[in-house]
């Protein structure tokens, strides 16, 4: 009898605790689901203005002011918005040649970019060029596989960042291409290129398992896919674990629908890319639900 | 199990349950929604006024310099493979300007010119050519370089060109058969692998761009004090000064052998 009373008492205390924490939790979010809206661009290539009316493919499309208007509108409709770029924001119009990225970085900061990746053209002004732009950026510049520790960018480029939005932890990291043969050696100096697949595995594991991020995003300038076995987003996705979304770039691939691939754990990885020149804005809305905790307890109880 | 232990383990379960509720938000992949929004004037009625205002002074300065007409072209020049009107036009003028600078700065000359296809980013229009057109054609800051390599390395270079299905070049003629270069003529004579050759190119290819590994064994390198874009602008201005218009032709400098 005594022990049965104790069990009842303990269960009662326990349910009170659950009740308190659950109500505190419900206060933060009335809904069963949470939604995070991810907006993205890639390879915008200094297209500050829309393409001209005489352009064969992209007449009158794009432009920073138009993109900014759309982003503002989405932010007014959605509570949890993150905005990313997958590299090569720089180079391609006289705006870059005249002002070396100053206007691109100013405007991307105003648009509220969360983080960007480093593309091969981010090196076009040399490491000094990128270093000069950093004070203009209110966003993070991420690269998990460029080691800048022996350069002036030491400690200024983070491998990853974690953004907590509405209680959801979003882990984000950047990946870049092999520089040799692609970027003029003087422009990258002592930057070390590390294997993107290895760094991705390591970083994604850390974000998902150690940091317990609810969503892991890779900003990749590796390119969508290649005929040969060069490392690409498709190659990365197939052999990966712990990555939910790859926002890609470099190959200027217009994916009207994202490509969904099963990773090595047979889980979905979404790959996206919006071509180039800032003619499109990509959007992915992720929904989250509370994991069923009852199962968790049952399994534990059985073990005992 | 003693009562104390039982109470303790029950409490752990319950606390575990409550903390699981708090932290385990799981992404529902089957519910993920995707959308690509085209940035046209239908989807976005009004551009952001604040951004436009910031762009204004930057744009004004560029417009005033970019709108200058520097030459006239008789036809649309566009890129093609294995050769193209644009490829031939740009490679020929870079060959000429490169040799002028090479003579002036190093008192030597080059026998051929090679550029990378990816470096020609946009065509040149028929009619007026502005500075802006040249910027769009060559937005990069690459500089001209002359490099001397062995005849054997030239052959490797030609094979690389064949494998790529042609590159912008001037000063040589070659056929392509099964991804390899055939019947290579440099100027008026066949390629002699025992000779060394000097090539006008850009720092991009010298650095191994487009996998041009043949430049790694340079016998001599001559960096020139002019950017590719500025060489194009200089040439166009000179033609206009001479009252000449721009034109280009296909001459089977690179062709597929049957």
Region for residue A293 given its phi and psi (left: phi exceeds 0; alpha: psi -120 to 50; beta: otherwise): alpha
Percent of all residues in chain A with a pLDDT value above 70, rounded to a whole number: 85
Mean of per-residue pLDDT scores for chain B:
91
- Give me the helix-helix angle, A102-110 and B49-66, nearest 10°: 170
- The helix or strand, by DSSP H or E, that contains position B95, with its residue range, turns out to be helix B85-106
User: Distance between CA A284 and CA A187 in Å, rounded?
Assistant: 34
Most B CBs within 10 A among A80, A126, A261, A293, hence the mutation to make, goes to A293
Taking an 8 Å cut-off on Cβ atoms, the answer to whether A124 and B21 are in contact is no
Tokens 């990258």, residue located: A188
Q: Which residues of A touch B43 (CB under 8 A)?
A: 70
- Asked if residue B90 has pLDDT above 60, the reply is yes
pLDDT value, residue B20: 43
Q: What is the pLDDT of residues B120-163, one digit of tens each?
A: 989 999 999 999 999 989 988 788 999 999 999 999 999 999 99
Distance between CA atoms of residues B161 and B114, nearest Å: 9
What percent of chain B lies above the pLDDT cut of 90?
A: 77
Query: Which helix (H) or strand (E) covers residue B129, if one does?
Result: strand B127-130
Cα→Cα distances A134→A156, A177, A269, Å: 8, 21, 31
Q: Encode pLDDT of A30-40 as tens digits.
A: 568 999 999 99
Residue A6's pLDDT is: 59
Within a 10 A sphere around the Cβ of B41, how many other Cβ atoms? 12
Q: Tell me how far apart the alpha carbons of residues A203 and A194 are, in angstroms, rounded to a whole number.
A: 13
Report the gap between the CA of A174 and the closest CA in chain B (Å). Answer: 21
Say if residues A58 and A274 touch (Cβ distance below 8 Å): no
Q: Which CATH superfamily groups domain A32-303? A: Metallo-dependent phosphatases (3.60.21.10)
Model confidence over A242-261: pLDDT tens digits? Answer: 999 999 999 999 999 999 99
B30-73 tens-digit pLDDT: 999 999 999 999 999 999 999 999 999 999 999 999 999 999 99
- Chain B residue with CA closest to A98: the answer is B62
Query: Which residues 66-95 on chain A approach chain B with CB closer than 8 angstroms?
Result: 66-70, 72-73, 91-95
Give the pLDDT confidence score for residue B16 in this predicted structure. 47
User: CB–CB of B140 and A124 under 8 A?
Assistant: yes
Distance between B139 CA and the closest CA of chain A, angstroms = 5
| Confidence tier at B174 by pLDDT (50, 70, 90) | very high
Distances, alpha carbon B192 to alpha carbons A111, B167, B215, in Å: 59, 21, 18
How confident is the model at residue A31, as a pLDDT?
A: 62
Q: Is B32 left (phi over 0), alpha (psi -120 to 50) or beta?
A: beta
Contact B176, B255 (CB under 8 A): yes
Which residue in B has a C-alpha nearest to residue A6's C-alpha? Answer: B7
Q: H helices of B32-84, where? A: 49-66
pLDDT of the residue at A16: 52
Compute the half-sphere exposure of residue A106: CA atoms within 13 Å on the CB side of its CA: 16
Of A267, A295, A284, residue with least CA distance to A74: A284
Distance CA B190, CA A98 (A): 45
- CB-nearest partner of B17 from A3, A18, A285: A18
Q: Which residues of chain A have pLDDT under 70?
A: 1-31, 181, 292-304
Put simply, the answer to whether A61 touches B48 (Cβ < 8 Å) is no
Contact check, Cβ <8 Å, A61/B35: no
What is the average pLDDT across B75-90?
97
Contacts of residue A134, Cβ cutoff 8 Å, sequence gap at least 6: A141, A156
A33 and A289 in contact (C-beta within 8 Å)? yes
CB A116 within 8 A of CB A173: no
Claim: this prediction has a pTM higher than 0.90: no
B56 touches chain A (CB under 8 A): no
In order of B104, B147, B215, the CA distances from B218 in angstroms are: 21, 6, 6
Place B6 in a pLDDT band, splitting at 50, 70 and 90: low
d(CA A199, CA A206): 11
Q: Are strands A245-247 and A268-272 parallel, antiparallel or unpaired?
A: parallel
The interface residues of chain B toward chain A in range 105-134, judged by CB-CB distance below 8 A, are: 121, 132
Which domains are seen in chain B, by residue range? 61-256 (3.90.780.10)
| Cα B182 off chain centre by | 26
pLDDT recorded at residue A20 = 46
Higher pLDDT, B21 or A55: A55
Measured CA to CA, the distance from residue B85 to residue B141 in angstroms comes to 23
The answer to whether A147 and A192 have CB atoms below 8 angstroms apart is: yes
CB A246 within 8 A of CB A215: no
pLDDT attached to residue A294: 39
| Distant-in-sequence, close-in-space partners of A72: CB < 8 Å, separation ≥ 6 | B48
């Amino acid at each position: 009898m005594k022990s049965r009373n104790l069990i009842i008492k303990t269960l009662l205390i326990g349910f009170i605790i659950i009740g308190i924490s659950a109500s505190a939790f419900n206060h933060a979010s009335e809904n069963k689901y949470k939604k995070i809206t991810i907006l993205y661009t890639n390879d915008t290539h200094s297209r500050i203005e829309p393409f001209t009316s005489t352009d064969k493919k992209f007449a009158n499309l794009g432009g920073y002011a138009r993109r900014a208007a759309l982003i503002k509108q989405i932010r007014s409709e959605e509570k949890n918005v993150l905005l990313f770029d997958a590299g090569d924001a720089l180079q391609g119009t006289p705006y870059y040649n005249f002002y070396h990225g100053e206007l691109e970085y100013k405007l991307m900061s105003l648009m509220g970019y969360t983080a960007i990746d480093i593309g091969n053209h981010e090196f076009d002004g040399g490491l000094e060029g990128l270093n000069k732009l950093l004070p203009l950026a209110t966003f993070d510049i991420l690269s998990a596989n460029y080691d800048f520790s022996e350069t002036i960018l030491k400690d200024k480029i983070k491998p990853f960042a974690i953004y907590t939005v509405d209680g959801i932890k979003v882990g984000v990291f950047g990946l870049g291409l092999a520089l040799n043969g692609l970027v003029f050696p003087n422009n990258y100096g002592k930057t070390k290129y590390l294997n993107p697949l290895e760094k991705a595995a390591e970083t994604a594991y850390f974000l998902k398992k150690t940091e317990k991020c609810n969503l892991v995003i890779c900003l990749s300038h590796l390119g969508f896919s290649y005929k040969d076995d060069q490392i690409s987003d498709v190659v990365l996705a197939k052999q990966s674990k712990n990555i939910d979304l790859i926002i890609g770039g470099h190959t200027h691939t217009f994916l009207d629908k994202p490509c969904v691939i099963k990773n090595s754990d047979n889980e979905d990885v979404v790959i996206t890319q919006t071509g180039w020149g800032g003619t499109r804005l990509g959007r992915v809305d992720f929904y989250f639900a509370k994991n069923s905790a009852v199962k968790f307890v049952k399994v534990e109880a059985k073990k005992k | 199990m003693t009562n104390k232990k039982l109470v303790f383990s029950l409490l752990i379960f319950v606390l575990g349950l409550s903390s699981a509720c708090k932290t385990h938000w799981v992404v529902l992949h089957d519910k993920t929604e995707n959308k690509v929004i085209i940035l046209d004037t239908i989807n976005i009625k009004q551009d952001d006024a604040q951004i436009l205002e910031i762009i204004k002074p930057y744009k004004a300065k560029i417009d005033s310099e970019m709108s200058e007409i520097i030459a006239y072209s008789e036809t649309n020049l566009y890129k093609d493979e294995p050769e193209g009107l644009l490829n031939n036009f740009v490679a020929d003028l870079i060959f000429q300007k490169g040799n002028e600078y090479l003579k002036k700065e190093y008192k030597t000359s080059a026998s051929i010119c090679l550029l990378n296809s990816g470096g020609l980013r946009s065509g040149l229009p028929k009619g007026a050519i502005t500075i802006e057109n040249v910027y769009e054609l060559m937005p990069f800051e690459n500089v001209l370089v002359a490099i001397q390599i062995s005849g054997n390395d030239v052959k490797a270079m030609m094979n690389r060109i064949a494998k790529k299905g042609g590159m912008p070049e001037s000063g040589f003629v070659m056929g392509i058969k099964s991804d390899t270069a055939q019947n290579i003529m440099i100027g008026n004579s066949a390629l002699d692998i025992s000779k060394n050759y000097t090539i006008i190119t850009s720092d991009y290819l010298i650095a191994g761009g487009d996998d041009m590994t043949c430049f790694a064994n340079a016998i001599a390198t001559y960096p020139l004090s002019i950017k590719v874009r500025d060489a194009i602008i200089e040439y166009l201005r000179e033609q206009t000064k001479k009252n000449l218009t721009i034109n280009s032709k296909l001459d089977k400098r690179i062709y597929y052998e049957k």
